Amino acid sequence: MESVAANAGILVVEDEGLIALDLKARLEALGYNVPAVADTYHDAIAAVERLRPSLVLMDIRLRGPVDGVETAAADCSPADCSPPDCSPMPPRLDAGRLAASV
């Protein structure tokens, strides 16, 4: 019987080649299937439509004019597709947002 990790397809969308390869290697070492790595909006959308991954790890900055936030929000398949985005950089809180959260 295969583990859940072995069945989960994870698409990595990252424009920095070394970071993308490191993420892919780490995920595979944990037993996850990483069938593709994309670095642009068009490559990410094509990979999602072709592979139908269980999870998409999306960087905010991508190669080309469309960023990861717009890519994640794109209507990328006939089924509802809203992959989460992930970035090594935490979001910045401005003073207004910080004050509103307390």
For the stretch 35-80, pLDDT in tens is 999 999 999 999 988 998 999 999 988 999 998 888 888 855 445 5
7: confidence class by pLDDT, cuts 50, 70, 90: low
Q: E-strand spans in the chain?
A: 9-13, 33-38, 55-58
pLDDT at 8: 56
More confident residue, 32 or 82: 32
pLDDT at 81 over 90: no
Q: Higher pLDDT residue, 5 or 45?
A: 45
Query: Which are the contacts of 100, defined by CB distance < 8 A and separation ≥ 6?
Result: none
- The full 3-state SS of 5-29, as one line of letters, equals HHHCEEEEECCCHHHHHHHHHHHHH
Q: Which sequence spans correspond to the domains of the chain?
A: 4-101
CA 28: distance to chain centroid? 15
How many Å apart are CA 33 and CA 79, to the nearest integer? 22
Is the domain defined by 4-101 classed in CATH 3.40.250.10?
A: no
pLDDT of residue 41: 93
pTM: 0.68
Task: Report the 10 Å Cβ neighbour count for 56.
Answer: 25
